[in-house]
């Protein structure tokens, strides 16, 4: 009974987020815990990413920075949200994380305070993102994708029906009007991400 009530409460709390028509009604915290309204990015194409500094996918920071440098003048902004929910692979303070990312990968795109992307404390922004674009499946043409699919399927044979974030470096693509138009799982090739970005910039 308690679990049912808790589930109902979580669902009710999620309603305001799900009712939004775009991402511009949401606010997030920057590294100094100052509020940033996403409406500040109106007219931009956004790539929203949950990241970690101690993950096998961490080198994707280099790919993301190159992508940002290639398309920022056309209107691309990458929004980086460190998250420690997956294997506790984003340890330390925001300053620790930011120093690591700038020192090792030279990132210059906006990086925000650590958040939860799943569960009772998940950021409302992520409740909305997941409702708009569900899980797209791991790329099983590579060993990492095969491993992750096997791992999650052992825990839940129907895990792929759940829209939750599965791991670090899941990416959501937002068009210039704030609509969530695509989702890329961590195993997606950066070339596919780039193709999506290019198409969104031309819309």
Of the residues 10, 55, 83, 101, only one is catalytic, namely 55
Provide the pairing of β-strand 35-37 with 27-29.
antiparallel
Q: Residue 181: which CATH number?
A: 3.40.30.10
Query: Phi/psi of residue 78, each to 5°?
Result: -100, 130
Which H or E element spans position 99? Answer: helix 94-105
Pair of tokens at residue 26: 């949401």
Report the alpha-carbon angle 116-149-121, nearest 5.
10
| pTM, 2 dp | 0.89
Q: What is the pLDDT of residue 21?
A: 85
Instruction: Look at residue 171 and give its three-state secondary structure.
Output: strand
Q: What is the pLDDT of residue 19?
A: 56
List average pLDDT for each run of 10 residues in the chain, which is 203 residues long: 45 52 95 96 98 96 98 98 95 94 97 97 97 96 93 95 97 98 97 98 92
List % helix, strand, coil for the chain (3-state, nearest 5). 45, 15, 40
Length of the chain: 203
Query: Phi/psi of residue 10, each to 5°?
Result: -60, -40
**Residues 159/9, Cβ–Cβ less than 8 Å:** no
Q: What is the pLDDT of residue 4?
A: 41
**Residues 122/83, Cβ–Cβ less than 8 Å:** no
Catalytic annotation present for 83: no
**Residues 111/98, Cβ–Cβ less than 8 Å:** yes
The domain of 72 spans 2-202
CA gap 6, 26 in Å, rounded = 24
CA gap 90, 165 in Å, rounded = 15
How many structural domains compose the chain?
A: 1
């Amino acid at each position: 009974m308690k679990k049912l009530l808790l589930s109902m409460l979580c669902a009710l709390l999620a309603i305001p987020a799900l009712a939004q028509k775009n991402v511009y009604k949401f606010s997030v915290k920057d590294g100094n815990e100052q509020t940033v309204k996403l409406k500040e990015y109106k007219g931009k194409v956004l790539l929203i990413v949950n990241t970690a500094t101690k993950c096998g996918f961490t080198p994707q920071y280099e790919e993301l920075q190159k992508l940002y440098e290639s398309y920022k003048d056309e209107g691309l902004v990458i929004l980086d949200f460190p998250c420690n929910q997956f294997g506790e692979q984003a340890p330390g303070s925001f300053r620790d994380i930011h120093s690591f990312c700038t020192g090792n990968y030279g990132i210059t795109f906006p990086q925000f305070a650590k958040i939860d992307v799943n569960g009772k404390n998940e950021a409302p922004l992520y409740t909305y993102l997941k409702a708009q674009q569900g899980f797209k499946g791991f790329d099983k043409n590579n060993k990492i994708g095969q491993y992750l699919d096997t791992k999650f399927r052992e825990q839940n044979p129907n895990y792929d029906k759940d829209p939750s974030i599965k791991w670090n470096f899941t990416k959501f693509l937002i068009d210039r009007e704030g609509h969530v138009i695509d989702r890329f799982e961590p195993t997606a090739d950066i070339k596919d991400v780039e193709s999506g970005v290019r198409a969104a910039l031309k819309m």
